[in-house]
């Protein structure tokens, strides 16, 4: 009787040592190898192989313990899960184990990748080289994780109750260890992916060719810069550490702050509304003040980064300096609205301004006047001195007229030697006084280099809205008054209808 208990006790000690090595394994691969090594060392088999159930439903053999030829034949083997199902249809259930006797499986279904080099036994109960014994490995929740297969019992016989119990016990503990190792491996992979993602983000953030900023999001909108790259520091003129003590609104020019605050409110509102995902993205162009005090235009694209629950974690700003484009557009607009010779407003710009003034005068009690100015004696300048001198005279005349008007008035050139002044909020007496000043300014000879030009000006005045309610009518009336002034002897002015 004493000997019957000695064998299991020795086996249990070997089993616990093997399980201890499984528990100390650090990685999934180490755990798999510890399992198969534990079967060989602690349960009494010469060969053990462990196949993992992959996410695609295939079993892949990742760990083998035993002779070299067995490892070479079995490692890396991949087979579908139904391969085991076919074998198990002929198996004998030994508790949780499945024993497939060699004489039950039809030859056409027998797929053996490795056969131990032993002769088929003659005595009953001996292990046959084509016998197969499997122990499915399950997680604690019952999920199938893999398949442990064993071969060549050391005593050469089919396992009895004690050895089966040991293998089943080992498989149960190995399933738990495998589940824990798989979870730990997944966590490590997730951490590595996260670390790689964070490093990729850092490299992209810091090395971006545009300004980048992570911005804290408060209840009312952007609170402060959390992180900025060097490109943003170059754009703003502030050092990176200075920016991280500032709020985005500190950079916004005063005239754009209200619009920026409204954008922030819309951004937070879109985040609160949830999908679609692109709702929490805003692109706009806004004026900023640099550290030196000069103004710049920037294009800012703000993306709200959310947590898994949908809450706002922070905002990510991409900032481009678009000052040069704005200056170029402003220059193109200026040229499109400006007379190229004199720099005054051109015909289109003048008409636009006069139309706006007339609109205001018809909807309120505002008044204004149009002064149509035509140079006297300019044809003689062109005939006697040439067009180059004529152009210089036109520029000088334009400068003298512009010098006599208010900043709120507009002076334009219709073409040739015809100029128009649009003056808002004046009555007839004010318009006459302005005409007198312009006439006096042009009464003085225009002298430059060795040339002298004696030109004067005839001015026609039309006061609106009394003397015209649309641009064409008002200009025609002022033109009529101008011809009346010329007929009176030139170097004079006349008021339409007087």
Q: Do residues 326 and 334 touch, judged by C-beta distance below 8 A?
A: no
Confidence at residue 393, expressed as pLDDT on a 0 to 100 scale: 93
Q: Is the pLDDT of residue 5 over 70?
A: no
- Residue 90: name the closest of 50, 59, 134 by CA: 134
Confidence at residue 7, expressed as pLDDT on a 0 to 100 scale: 45
Structure tokens given for 239:
């050092």
Confidence at residue 3, expressed as pLDDT on a 0 to 100 scale: 40
What span, in angstroms and rounded, lies between the C-alpha atoms of 129 and 102? 8
pLDDT one-digit tens code per residue, 36-48: 888 888 888 999 9
Q: Do residues 137 and 146 touch, judged by C-beta distance below 8 A?
A: yes
Confidence at residue 231, expressed as pLDDT on a 0 to 100 scale: 94
What span, in angstroms and rounded, lies between the C-alpha atoms of 369 and 427? 7
Q: Is the pLDDT of residue 218 over 90?
A: no
Q: Is the pLDDT of residue 172 over 70?
A: yes
Mean local confidence (pLDDT), 262-289:
72
At 349 the three-state DSSP class reads helix
pLDDT one-digit tens code per residue, 450-471: 778 889 999 999 999 888 778 9
pLDDT band, very low/low/confident/very high, at 280 (cuts 50, 70, 90): low
Q: Is the pLDDT of residue 24 over 80?
A: no
Least confident of 38-47, 66-75, 126-135, 174-183: 174-183
Sorted by where each starts, the structural domains of the chain and their CATH numbers stand as: 2-186 (3.30.450.40), 208-323 (3.30.450.20), 338-495 (3.30.70.270)
Q: Is the pLDDT of residue 259 over 60?
A: yes
Confidence at residue 400, expressed as pLDDT on a 0 to 100 scale: 96
Q: Is the pLDDT of residue 1 over 80?
A: no
Confidence at residue 420, expressed as pLDDT on a 0 to 100 scale: 97
Q: Is the pLDDT of residue 106 over 80?
A: no
> Which residues, including other chains, have CB under 8 Å from residue 470's CB and lie 6 or more apart?
358
- Dihedral over alpha carbons 222, 223, 226, 229 (to 10 degrees): 50
What span, in angstroms and rounded, lies between the C-alpha atoms of 326 and 323? 5
Q: Is the pLDDT of residue 15 over 80?
A: no
What span, in angstroms and rounded, lies between the C-alpha atoms of 467 and 30? 100
Who has greater pLDDT, 407 or 306? 407
Q: Is the pLDDT of residue 235 over 60?
A: yes
What span, in angstroms and rounded, lies between the C-alpha atoms of 33 and 37? 6
Q: Is the pLDDT of residue 31 over 70?
A: yes
Least confident of 5-19, 345-359, 416-430, 435-449: 5-19
pLDDT one-digit tens code per residue, 92-102: 999 999 999 98
- Dihedral over alpha carbons 197, 203, 204, 205 (to 10 degrees): 100
- Residue 50: name the closest of 70, 67, 36, 69 by CA: 36
Q: Is the pLDDT of residue 375 over 60?
A: yes
β-bridge mates for residue 51, sequence order? 61, 147
At 378 the three-state DSSP class reads helix
Q: Is the pLDDT of residue 276 over 50?
A: no
Mean local confidence (pLDDT), 75-102:
89
Confidence at residue 244, expressed as pLDDT on a 0 to 100 scale: 93
Mean local confidence (pLDDT), 314-326:
92
Share of the chain above pLDDT 90, in %: 49
Share of the chain above pLDDT 70, in %: 91
pLDDT one-digit tens code per residue, 473-485: 999 999 999 999 9
Q: Is the pLDDT of residue 23 over 70?
A: no
Confidence at residue 20, expressed as pLDDT on a 0 to 100 scale: 67
What span, in angstroms and rounded, lies between the C-alpha atoms of 172 and 31? 14
Distance of CA 442 to the CA centre of its chain: 61
Q: How many CB atoms lie within 10 A of CB 403?
A: 11
Q: What is the mean pLDDT of the chain?
A: 86
Q: Which residues are catalytic?
A: 417
């Amino acid at each position: 009787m004493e000997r019957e208990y000695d064998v299991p006790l020795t086996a249990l000690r070997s089993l616990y040592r093997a399980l201890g090595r499984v528990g100390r394994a650090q990685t999934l691969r180490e755990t798999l190898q510890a399992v198969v090594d534990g079967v060989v060392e602690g349960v009494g088999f010469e060969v053990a192989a462990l196949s993992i159930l992959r996410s695609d439903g295939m079993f892949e053999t990742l760990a083998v313990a035993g002779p070299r030829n067995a490892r070479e034949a079995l490692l890396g083997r991949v087979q579908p899960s139904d391969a085991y199902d076919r074998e198990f249809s002929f198996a004998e259930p030994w508790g949780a184990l499945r024993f497939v006797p060699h004489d039950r499986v039809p030859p056409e279904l027998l797929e053996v990748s490795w056969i131990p080099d032993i002769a088929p036994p003659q005595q009953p109960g001996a292990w046959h080289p084509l016998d197969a014994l499997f122990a499915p490995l399950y997680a604690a929740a019952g999920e199938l994780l893999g398949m442990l297969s064993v071969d060549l019992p050391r005593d050469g016989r089919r396992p009895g109750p004690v050895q089966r119990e040991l293998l089943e016990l080992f498989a149960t503990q190995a399933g738990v260890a495998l589940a824990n190792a798989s979870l730990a491996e997944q966590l490590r992979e997730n951490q590595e992916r996260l670390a790689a993602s964070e490093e990729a983000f850092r490299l992209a953030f810091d090395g971006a060719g545009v300004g980048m900023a992570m911005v804290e999001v408060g209840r009312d909108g952007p609170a402060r810069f959390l992180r900025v790259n060097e490109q943003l520091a170059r754009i703003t003129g502030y050092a990176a550490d200075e920016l991280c003590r500032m709020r985005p609104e500190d950079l916004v020019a005063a005239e754009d702050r209200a619009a920026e605050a409204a954008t922030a409110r819309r951004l937070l509102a879109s985040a609160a509304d949830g999908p679609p995902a692109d709702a929490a993205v805003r692109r706009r162009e806004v004026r900023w003040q640099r550290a030196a005090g000069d103004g710049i235009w920037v294009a800012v694209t703000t993306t709200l980064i959310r947590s898994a629950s949908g809450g706002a974690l922070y905002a990510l700003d991409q900032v481009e300096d678009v000052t040069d484009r704005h200056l170029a557009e402003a220059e193109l607009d200026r040229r499109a609205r400006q007379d190229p010779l004199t720099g005054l407003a051109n015909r289109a710009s003048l008409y636009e301004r006069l139309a706006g003034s007339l609109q205001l005068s018809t909807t309120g009690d505002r008044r204004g006047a149009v002064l149509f100015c035509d140079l006297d004696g300019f044809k003689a300048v062109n005939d006697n001195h040439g067009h180059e001198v004529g152009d210089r005279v036109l520029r000088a005349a334009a400068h003298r007229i512009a010098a006599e008007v208010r900043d709120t008035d507009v002076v334009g050139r219709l073409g040739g030697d015809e100029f128009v002044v649009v003056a808002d909020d004046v009555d007839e007496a004010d318009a006459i006084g302005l005409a007198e000043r312009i006439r006096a300014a042009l009464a003085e000879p225009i002298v430059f280099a060795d040339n002298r030009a004696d030109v004067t000006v005839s001015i026609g005045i039309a006061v609106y809205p009394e003397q015209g309610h649309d641009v064409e009518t008002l200009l025609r009336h002022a033109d009529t008054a101008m011809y009346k002034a010329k007929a009176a002897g030139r170097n004079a002015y006349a008021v339409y209808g007087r």
